[in-house]
Each structure stands twice: as structure tokens, then as C-alpha cells.
Amino acid sequence: MLEIKDISQCYGQHWVLKEINFTFTEGRIYGIIGPNGAGKSTLLRVLTAMEKPRAGEIWWEKKLLTQPIPEITCMWQKPYLFQTTVKENLLYGLKIRKWPQREQNERLEYLLDKFRLREYKHKYAEALSGGEGARVALARAIAPRPRLLVLDEPAANLDPGHTGLLENILKEICRAEGMAAIVVTHDMFQAKRLADITLFLSEGRLIEAGTTDLLFTQPQSEKTRKFISGEI
């Protein structure tokens, strides 16, 4: 589905990504972990074509990806909500994709129920709490049924209740709709709960990738072992 080939990125003289290769496939949830400054968020911006890499290529369905596409939607660490109602935020992606009105209405009703947002339907975004806003942002990203959902620290600054709710909804919808997701998280427990496959980045390099259970219980790299044990 999405293949990254020899991706490197630098800002000035500082290389933040170094020769990364990986292929993301349909229907799986991928977790990306690593210490601060490992290049996790930069990798997301590059693989979604929000940034052009200094070297390497991104391929989507065997076609070179050079600009953002509607099949990939994102939720960033500090999600921006349009200063209008929850309803209008959720419908935004459907309207620009020219969904038929009936399908827009059906999808809206589904999302309001799934994300427990019905009581906030006509509430303005600026009046929402952090947890409510995060639910709206995730629902808006999922609304147009993307094939790939990219999330940068989706539970940052959320309490355990809202975190658990978002995780459960994400897993359920990905399974039901065959959607793949890539989730950057600083929380290794979240990666264990969410991800089928986990990637470990350090100093801009992809150190190790594998099934989440095996990566956490039988890491192949000493650097991975030290990170998950809290030694680095």
C-alpha cells in the first residue's frame, strides 16, 4: 500500500531521518516509538507528503507520492478544529469529496454515535474540552473512510478515560472498515494495546520493526532492549 524507500530528511545540517525503508500494508495498525528527537513526527510528515524528503521516495499503490492525497488523512498532536460546530467539522471532508447528501447524513449519524458526540452536535469547537476536541478531531479524520489514517500522539494530554475511549474506537473502526493506521506514541503501553506492528526509531534510523508482542518481549536490537527497559 505505502512504501518508503531510502528516506532521509535534514533541516540545515542536521539529519533527522537516515535511509529509512519500510512497507505499510492494508488493514493493520502500526505503532512508531522512540526517544524524543528520534524523527517520529518528521517521518509522518514525509510519508504523508506534507514534507518533501531530502533523499528517497514515497510510493502509494506503486505510484510515486509527491503531494497529499485524499486516501490518507491525519490527526496531528495539536489538532486544529474549524471554529464552527461539531457537525460541520465532521462533514467537512465529506463535502469537499462531494459525497451524496444522504451518505453524508448517514456517516454523520454513525460518527456521532460511535464517538459519543451526539450531545455536542451543535456545539462550537472552541467550547469543547480537550477530550471532546480529540474525539471530534479523530472522528473528522475517519469520516471520509480513508485507506490510511496517520496519528501523531493522538492521546497527548488526555486522561485515561478519554485515552481508552479513543483507542477502543480506533481499533474497532480500523477492523470494521479495513483501514490501516500509523500511530506515533511516546507511550509504550499504548503501542502494546493498539499496534499489530511496532517500529522503533532512534537518532533518525529505523532500528527494528516487527510484531508488537515479539518486539517488546524478544527485541533483536540491544538499543531496542535498552529503550523498552527504560535504560535510554
168 pLDDT above the threshold of 80: yes
- Spatial separation of the C-alpha atoms in residues 11 and 55, rounded to whole Å: 12
For residue 81, give the amino acid letter.
L
23 pLDDT above the threshold of 80: yes
Q: What is the pLDDT of residues 71-108, one digit of tens each?
A: 999 998 887 899 999 999 999 999 999 999 999 999 99
Order of all β-strands in the sheet with 14-24: 14-24, 2-11, 55-60, 63-64
Domain 2-229 class, CATH top level: alpha beta
Q: Which three cell numbers stand for residue 229?
A: 527497559
Question: Mean pLDDT over residues 179-199, rounded?
Answer: 95
Q: Give the residue extent of every domain in the chain.
A: 2-229
- pLDDT greater at residue 79 or residue 10: 10
130 pLDDT above the threshold of 90: no
Cβ-based neighbours of 123, under 8 Å, separated by 6 or more: 85, 86
Q: What is the pLDDT of residues 32-79, one digit of tens each?
A: 999 999 999 999 999 999 999 999 999 999 999 999 999 999 998 887
